[in-house]
A and B are shown apart, each in its own frame.
Chain A
Amino acid sequence: MKRSRGKLDLYVVYRLLKILATEGPLSRTALATNAKLNYQRAMRYISQLAEAGLVTWQGDKIGLTREGLETLKKIEEVLEALFGLKSDT
Chain B
Amino acid sequence: MRPRARLVSCLQLLWTARMLGALYVALLAAAVAYVVSPDELRGWVSEVGHMLMQLGLLLLLAAILVGRLTVRRYRDEKEAALALIQMAHERGAFCVKAELTARAVAYWLVSLLTALTLLLLLQMPLYIAFPVSLALFVFLYFRALDDILTSATQELELVHRMKKAYEEIQR
A71 closest partner in B (C-beta) = B169
Instruction: Check: A45 CB closer than 8 A to any chain B CB.
Output: no
Given A9-B83, A74-B168, the answer on whether A79 and B78 have CB atoms closer than 8 Å is yes
Complex partner residue of A11 from B79, B166, B170, B171, CB under 8 angstroms? B79
Instruction: Check: B103 CB closer than 8 A to any chain A CB.
Output: no
Pairwise interchain contact A82-B165, C-beta atoms closer than 8 A: yes
Tell me the bound Cα distance from A83 to B83 in angstroms: 13
Tell me the bound Cα distance from A1 to B171 in angstroms: 6
B165 closest partner in A (C-beta) = A78
B158 closest partner in A (C-beta) = A82
Instruction: Check: B18 CB closer than 8 A to any chain A CB.
Output: no
Instruction: Check: B161 CB closer than 8 A to any chain A CB.
Output: yes
Pairwise interchain contact A9-B86, C-beta atoms closer than 8 A: yes
Interface residues of A in 9-57 (CB under 8 A from B): 9-11, 14-15
Complex partner residue of A10 from B75, B77, B161, B166, CB under 8 angstroms? B166
Instruction: Check: B112 CB closer than 8 A to any chain A CB.
Output: no
A2 / chain B contacts, CB cutoff of 8 Å? 170
A74 / chain B contacts, CB cutoff of 8 Å? 168-169
A-B contact pairs, 13 of them (CB 8 A): A2-B170, A11-B80, A11-B83, A14-B78, A74-B169, A78-B85, A78-B169, A81-B165, A82-B85, A82-B158, A82-B162, A82-B165, A85-B78
Chain B interface (Cβ < 8 Å from any Cβ of A): 2-3, 74-75, 77-83, 85-86, 158, 161-162, 165-166, 168-171
Chain A interface (Cβ < 8 Å from any Cβ of B): 1-3, 9-11, 14-15, 71, 74-76, 78-79, 81-83, 85
